[in-house]
Amino acid sequence: MKKINILLILGLAALVMFSCNNGKDTTAPVITLKGSSDTAIALNTTWTDPGATALDDEDGNVPINASGVVNKDLVGVYTITYKASDAAGNISTKTRTVRVRNMADIWEGDYSVTDNCDGTQYTYTDYISVSQTQNTYVNVHKFRNYINGTLEFYFTNPDSVNTNIVIEAQYITCGEPYIDRFFYGMGQITSLTNKTFELFINENDGTSTKNIVESYQKN
């Protein structure tokens, strides 16, 4: 009988221990983001974190700590991490992706160019890259096959046909002979579907001004 009682006591103790362990809070809070988990903003514009909430099955609403920085003035992909914990020490995390983009990035790529310079026509290939720090600004590399020639301009609205393109006054060291040349002008988007536009450029080499019309077709 004594042996049976001991076994019974041990069994009850094991049951109590199992019940206690089984009742331990092991569930982390549930984090819900406000707004999209993957969002894009235009370069040089302000982004405000819409925040998040965290609900725990035992503690109810619990505080959230957000970490991460979005540099609105530099093209890139940034991550904001949200972290919450309950009284039992259970931790949960959730992330939001914020993409800072130059809104003219749809125009980045290789182009076939037809160049009419004072009645003489040239054809060649140029590459356009977007500015990493100025929204809607782009750069044409290998400009008119000139050594180190890079022409900067910007779209007043990169997503609209017939939108003006502005070529601000700038010096480019290029050409034959290889000298400082003064450029300025304007342009216009002619097709969003085909990614075509035209530039009307004035080039002054210090002695005379050339009138250049360039037609760009994305490859």
Identify the architecture of domain 26-101 in CATH: Sandwich (2.60)
pLDDT, tens only, 141-167: 866 555 567 899 999 999 999 889 999
Q: Tell me the chain's radius of gyration from C-alpha atoms.
A: 31
Greatest Cα-to-Cα distance within the chain, rounded to the nearest angstrom? 119
pLDDT, tens only, 186-218: 999 999 999 999 999 999 999 999 999 999 999
Antiparallel, parallel or unpaired: β 52-56 and 196-204: unpaired
CA atoms of 104 and 41, how far apart (whole Å): 12
- As a CATH number, domain 105-218 is 2.40.128
Q: What is the mean pLDDT of residues 54-73?
A: 97
Boundaries of every domain in the chain: 26-101, 105-218
Of 77, 192, 183, 197, the residue nearest 132 (C-alpha): 77
CB of 140 closer than 8 Å to CB of 151: yes
pTM of the predicted model as reported, rounded to 2 decimal places? 0.81
Name which residue leads in pLDDT, 175 or 27: 27
Of 157, 147, 107, the residue nearest 127 (C-alpha): 107
Band of residue 5 on the pLDDT scale cut at 50, 70, 90: low
Rounded to the nearest 5°, which phi and psi values hold at 3? -65, -40
pLDDT at 43: 98
Give the type of residue at 193: T
- 16, pLDDT greater than 80: no
Q: Same topology for domains 26-101 and 105-218, yes or no?
A: no
Q: What is the mean pLDDT of residues 39-45?
A: 98
CA atoms of 153 and 175, how far apart (whole Å): 19
